[in-house]
Amino acid sequence: MFTLLAVLAGALLRATFSSSDIVQASSTGRVGDSLIYASPVEVLFSHDGARLYVLCQGSDQVRVLDAASFKTIRNVAVGHIPRGFSLSPDGSRLFVANTWDDTLSVIDTGTMAVVATWPVGAEPSSVIEDRECKYLFVANRISNDVAVLDAQTGAEVKRLAAGNGASYMTLSPDGKRLYVTHVYPNSAPARTVPESEITVIDTARAVVVDRIPLHGIAGVFHVAFSADGRLGVAAGLYPKNLVPLAHLEHGGAFADTLTLFGADVGNKPVEVPLDELERYAARPFGVAIMPDKSRIFVTSGGSEMVTSIDLPRLLAFIRGHHGPFVEDLSASSNYVITRIAVGHDPRAVALTGDSRRLIVANRLEDTLSVIDTRSNRLLSTIPLEGSRQLSVLRHGEQTFYTADQSFQGQIGCANCHIDSTFDDLTWDLEPDGMGRNIVDNRPLESLKGTEPFKWNGGNPDIPTECGPRTEKYFWRSETYDDLTLADLATYIRSLPARPNRWRLTDGTLTPAQERGQAIFARATDRFGNPIPLANRCSYCHSGPKGTIQKSFDVGTKKETDDSGLLDTPQLENIALTAPYLHDGSARTLEEIWTVFNPNDKHGRTNDLTKDELNDLVEYLRTR
Amino acid sequence: MKIRTGNRLAISALGLIAALLAAGAIGAQPPKPRAPQALAPPQLPRYRFENFTTANGLPDNHVFAVLVDGDRIWAGTENGLAVYENHKWKTYTTSDGLAQRAVLSLALDKRTGDVWAGTMGGLSRISGGRIDSYTQLNSGLSNDVVYGVSVEGENVWVATAAGACRLNLRTGQWSLFNERNTPMIEIWVYGVSATPTKVYYAVWGSGILEFDQKTGRWDKYEDPDGETELVLFKDQGLIHEITSSVSYVDNILWVATYFGDSRYDGRYWHNFLTKDSGLPSNFTNYVKGVDAKSAWFCTDKGLAYYDGANWAVYRPSLTTGKPEMTVRDAQGNVTPVAVTTAPAHNYILGIDFQGDDIWVATAKGLSHGIRQKP
């Protein structure tokens, strides 16, 4: 019977899927329907503490709950896939950042109606109004900046350069500074230690005044401040991508960290691990600091838990020891009080006004966990309205985001594919020797029609890519049953492409994009010589996804590569996926041709003028 | 007056015929020493200069550009970008991410506070201490030798050794401007001045290019006498094709060339040469307009200020090296003014204003001109 099910599942996986016609791939109570889930990602209390606002990414809503009973008062529809929200200083307006619409929803908290929808930058992920109600600051993940809007009209005043993948923000307690994190590392030379930052903005002048360096960190999420303003805390990932990933059992692929900064820790930020041997805190995300500075609470999405930290002991540890601490698996025992199990993929947290309760949004469970902050115990789990059935897609998504499948629960798919995208890092994956076959991480959007997978084209389909090979080389375990793997593959295959931000809304191309399109499609070079078919952009990057689904040697083989024969990557949203080439050696699209195509093997391009190359890049950004 | 390229040959021929006449027509009068009974010289700004060199913190004495950013002073030197703040110098180098060590030009994005530095090896943005660099290899920048940079709104306008370009900070799009899509003949672009209405490029050998921000159209201003060194008629048009710098202030275009300087109000040109103005040298590296009537000229023989009628020159004496200031009134009377300090060198490359004070980039140091009240 098991064999039959496995065969059936495998057959289904090889069928054509889309998010609208998912068929049942399991017999474990999971349904094939595309159900709508709430997927809560953020929570916050009204200023009077009477209401709890829950930002539901799956249902595109702000749910307004009674803070005492958790009963629903109202559901407010907002834009598509909201990621962040905040209240105005007087609590009269609730601002919601909608990532796929590139808009802000402005909700009147008196009427609980959306009173305005303002356009902002690319993939707005969080929003905060300054104390004087002069500016709205919006962190834009794709445009890597913070948009400054007129808080009354929504008109954009300017944009400030932030970190790569700018996403989460917090105000200092006095409101004078805004601290911004980002989920992808900043651009750096290939195979160097990742560098990130916390961008510090003067809210009165709306200018960047400092950038706190986060050495070795790639992927920074929520950031919080102590009430006295002396300590900032950010949750982040410390990837070990410069050493082979084949050694998960020797310390892991990531350290899950908190970065502390501010007067309490001196001039330099301090990174401390949350992990301990055999108990990892995979993918730290949400952070809260008790007003009396007794505790820090941190969610870990992959480990499905909240870590409670004794803050005085943590500060004493830092002051009493010499760092770095980040890879020391014995360190956290000095300051971790306990780890509290919560729901699937816990994200943001909020403290009640009296700080006696901590509310946790469990994104992939549609629940809220209520934790007693004095006893560090889970008091209750509040289900949000919606389907309690588990769909194939939902189960696949849970599998994608959990770290349970890996050795000691260290990592999950979402470690490297942040929010189901990628991580902007290059990795040394296979046990083929130190520094061999370095590969750039590729995005997961709209994968149908882009097979085979892996840079060497070695995996014909997603189950092969994500199944035994992943278990063996990544997870160092054998935990997937066939149906779980089927659901995971179904989820991955369902991921759509994000909206392209470089295309004009009417579908036409700008003059530069049109010129670039002609270069992409050209069959003769500037001198009238025919370009061999296999040396035209439009040949290898043909079809709707921009890949002919075959491998070619485009002259990019490095000494560390076993072969120059490489899978043709798809072009969808290519503008978002720097660095480029199989090993991430090209930091920008331009470098693919200005640096790494000396012999025209990667398309005939060396006859192009700089103008023409710029046009080609402009066109590629529309793909 | 706008002279089209097609007119150049005819004008050059006329120039050959009328050379001697022209020379006589605008014949220079040597500076007239002020007679003892003349009126008191005009009151032009006086400064006490404090000079910075490697001896007191600068990374290099060759200072190509200076930028005032509130209380901070940025100096583009041959060996790094230096910033003076709280009486201390800090230097950014290539190890900090600077595109190249020789910094030729500077601009401030007044909205964001970011500083843009044009170098011999690319364009760098300094923002909150982080430096992002754009080169011709890693971006759409037209060429790595960046002589000029100017920020207006969400666009960064760049002058390079191989054409001009514009970076849109919102979209990331680079637009190149060269002989293929503008009236530019030469592509060696030395200076740029961007405003909400117009953008001007100073193009070596190709006069001044004008971009209308509203229509997106290009126009061009050239020397009516072409590439000859003759001036047929005074104030007929741009003084020379070999332009080095441009500044557009209060709808007035100020142009520096290596053969004199020009002012254009949209209808009339007014040209400045050593022989008919207080300009200390026709070889002008940089010009910065203050307003519609006054401007500063940075020449190889000193720093000059023009207030619309009178001139002042600040420099170490060309003969003795002693501090020197002279004032020339509208009648051409020249009066020395007793001073005890002068800019660090008479080869001046740049200037910026800090309230009433000036900061001056020279070939042998950076000078802070502290305004002296009468």
pLDDT tens figures, B220-273: 999 988 867 677 778 889 999 999 999 999 999 999 999 999 999 999 999 999
A512 DSSP 8-state letter: H
Of the candidate ranges A480-484, B21-25, B167-171, the one whose mean pLDDT is the lowest: B21-25
Cβ separation A590–B181 shorter than 8 A: no
Print the SS3 string covering B8-75: HHHHHHHHHHCHHHHHHHCCCCCCEECCCCCCCCCCCCEEEEEEECHHHCCCCCCEEEEEEECCEEEE
pLDDT at A28: 60
In a mutagenesis test of the B interface, which of A164, A591, A611 is the best target, namely the one with the most B β-carbons within 10 Å?
A: A611
Residue A556 C-alpha, separation from nearest chain B C-alpha, in angstroms? 17
pLDDT at B374: 76
Q: Which residues of chain B neighbour A158 with C-beta distances below 8 Å?
A: 111-112, 154
- Are B200 and B248 contacting, i.e. CB atoms less than 8 angstroms apart? yes
Residue B206 C-alpha, separation from nearest chain A C-alpha, in angstroms? 20
Cβ separation A591–B137 shorter than 8 A: yes
pLDDT at A465: 87
Predicted confidence (pLDDT) at residue A1 exceeds the cutoff of 70: no
**What would the mean pLDDT of A495-517 be, rounded to a whole number?**
94
Give the model confidence (pLDDT) of A339-394 as tens digits: 999 999 999 999 999 999 999 999 999 999 999 999 999 999 999 998 889 999 99
In a mutagenesis test of the B interface, which of A208, A505, A597, A609 is the best target, namely the one with the most B β-carbons within 10 Å?
A: A208
pLDDT band for position A407 (50/70/90)? confident
Angle at B207 between CA B202 and CA B208, to 5 degrees: 50
CA atoms of B89 and B105, how far apart (whole Å): 18
Mean pLDDT of all residues belonging to chain A = 92
Other C-beta atoms within 10 Å of B6: how many?
Answer: 7
Give the model confidence (pLDDT) of A302-323 as tens digits: 999 999 999 999 999 999 998 8
Q: Show the DSSP H helices in A454-510 as ranges.
A: 462-466, 468-470, 482-494
pLDDT at B219: 96
Q: Which one is predicted more confidently, B252 or A480?
A: B252
CA atoms of A53 and B340, how far apart (whole Å): 70
CA atoms of A9 and A247, how far apart (whole Å): 31
Q: Which residues of chain A neighbour B137 with C-beta distances below 8 Å?
A: 590-591, 594-595
- Are A257 and A271 contacting, i.e. CB atoms less than 8 angstroms apart? yes
Phi-psi region at B372: left, alpha or beta (left = phi > 0; alpha = psi -120 to 50): beta
- Are B239 and B223 contacting, i.e. CB atoms less than 8 angstroms apart? yes
pLDDT at A467: 86
Residue B136 C-alpha, separation from nearest chain A C-alpha, in angstroms? 8
Residue with tokens 């209750």: A380
pLDDT at B231: 73
Q: Which residues of chain A neighbour B178 with C-beta distances below 8 Å?
A: 611
Cβ separation A617–B140 shorter than 8 A: yes
Give the model confidence (pLDDT) of A3-43 as tens digits: 444 433 433 333 333 444 444 444 466 777 778 999 999 99
pLDDT at B8: 38
A475 DSSP 8-state letter: I
Give the model confidence (pLDDT) of B205-214 as tens digits: 999 999 999 9
In a mutagenesis test of the A interface, which of B95, B96, B109, B171 is the best target, namely the one with the most A β-carbons within 10 Å?
A: B171
Residue with tokens 């729901």: A343
**Cα–Cα nearest to A125, from A93, A159, A82:** A82
Domain B5-28+38-372 falls under CATH 2.130.10.10: yes
**Cα–Cα nearest to A280, from A327, A334, A315:** A327
For chain B, domain boundaries: 5-28+38-372
Predicted confidence (pLDDT) at residue B165 exceeds the cutoff of 70: yes
Residue A569 C-alpha, separation from nearest chain B C-alpha, in angstroms? 20
Print the SS3 string covering A527-579: CCCECCHHHCHHHHCCCCCCCCCCEEECCCCCCCCCCCEEECCCCCCHHHCCC
Predicted confidence (pLDDT) at residue A208 exceeds the cutoff of 60: yes
Collect all residues with Cβ–Cβ distance below 8 Å to A418 and sequence separation of at least 6. A165, A183, A184, A219
Q: Which one is predicted more confidently, A28 or B323?
A: B323
Of the candidate ranges A237-251, B6-20, B23-37, B288-302, the one whose mean pLDDT is the lowest: B6-20
pTM: 0.89
Cβ separation B136–A199 shorter than 8 A: no
Residue A588 C-alpha, separation from nearest chain B C-alpha, in angstroms? 6
Q: What is the dihedral of CA B361, B365, B371, B374, to 10 degrees?
A: -120
In a mutagenesis test of the B interface, which of A588, A593, A613 is the best target, namely the one with the most B β-carbons within 10 Å?
A: A588
Q: Which residues of chain B neighbour A617 with C-beta distances below 8 Å?
A: 140
Q: What is the dihedral of CA A233, A237, A240, A244, to 10 degrees?
A: 170
Cβ separation A157–B132 shorter than 8 A: no
**Dihedral (CA of B235, B238, B243, B247) sign:** positive
Q: Which residues of chain B neighbour A594 with C-beta distances below 8 Å?
A: 136-138
CB pairs under 8 A between A and B: 74
Cβ separation B137–A211 shorter than 8 A: no
CA atoms of A355 and A227, how far apart (whole Å): 12
For chain A, domain boundaries: 1-34+217-422+482-499, 120-215, 511-620
Tokens for B313, please give them. Answer: 């020159």
Cβ separation B137–A159 shorter than 8 A: no
Q: What whole-number percentage of chain A has pLDDT above 70?
A: 94
- Are B148 and B158 contacting, i.e. CB atoms less than 8 angstroms apart? yes
pLDDT at A249: 67
Q: Which CATH superfamily is domain A511-620 in?
A: Cytochrome c-like domain (1.10.760.10)
Collect all residues with Cβ–Cβ distance below 8 Å to B314 and sequence separation of at least 6. B47, B49, B302, B303, B304, B305, B324, B325, B339, B342, B343, B369
Give the model confidence (pLDDT) of A570-594 as tens digits: 999 999 999 999 999 999 999 999 9
Q: Which residues of chain A neighbour B139 with C-beta distances below 8 Å?
A: 588, 590
Task: Match domain A120-215 to its CATH number in 2.60.120.620, 2.60.40.10, 2.40.10.480, 1.10.10.10.
Answer: 2.40.10.480
- Are A376 and A340 contacting, i.e. CB atoms less than 8 angstroms apart? yes
Cβ separation A590–B138 shorter than 8 A: yes
Predicted confidence (pLDDT) at residue A547 exceeds the cutoff of 50: yes
B94 CB near a chain A CB, below 8 Å? no
pLDDT at A46: 97
Cβ separation B176–A611 shorter than 8 A: yes
- Are B247 and B199 contacting, i.e. CB atoms less than 8 angstroms apart? no
Domain A1-34+217-422+482-499 falls under CATH 1.10.600.10: no
